[in-house]
Amino acid sequence: MSKISRRSLANYGVDQLVAGKPAKSVAKHLVTVLAEQGLLSQAAFLVDDISWELENRQALAVGKVTSAQALSAKIQTELKAQIKKATGVKEVLLDSDVDKSVIGGIRLETSRQVWDSTVSRKLSELREVF
């Protein structure tokens, strides 16, 4: 059996998801292929590739928001709306992470973009200037 690239496997997975196949069955199939090819160690990278491709096709963006304190449901809803607007995707999944080291503000990442308005980043920029 010839090796299939991780990117090709991601494209195949996204094609299946966009066509309406159940995510669980697509995931099962992708894991089987990874196992057959001896590439199970690449599973996390494949997930990243699939996220990138879903966002690229404007189907779904998986966002990660990092803030110094937990965000309210209202703010998370507003962030999802902003991600939809900025990326043009139809749907947004948002994962929140609390990290006191950011001091304040938020850092928002999708597979294709990063918006960082944290106090820690701004302080870091000031240190570079001085």
* pLDDT tens profile 78-87: 999 999 999 9
Compute, in degrees rounded to 10, the torsion defined by CA atoms 112, 117, 120, 126: 110
Instruction: Return mean pLDDT, the chain.
Output: 95
Per-residue pLDDT band for 3 (boundaries 50, 70, 90) equals confident
Instruction: Locate the domains of the chain by residue range.
Output: 6-56, 60-129
- Decide the pairing of beta strands 91-98 and 60-67: parallel
CA distances to 83, 98, 127 from 104, in Å:
20, 10, 17
Q: Are the C-beta atoms of 66 and 106 separated by less than 8 Å?
A: yes
**Order of strands across the sheet with 60-67?**
91-98, 60-67, 106-109, 114-116
pLDDT at residue number 25: 97
Q: Taking 80 as the threshold, does the pLDDT of residue 1 lie above it? A: no
Cα(74)–Cα(35) distance, rounded to whole angstroms?
42
22-63: pLDDT as tens digits: 999 999 999 999 999 999 999 999 999 999 999 999 999 999
Q: State if pTM tops 0.75.
A: yes
Q: What mean pLDDT do residues 118-126 have?
A: 93
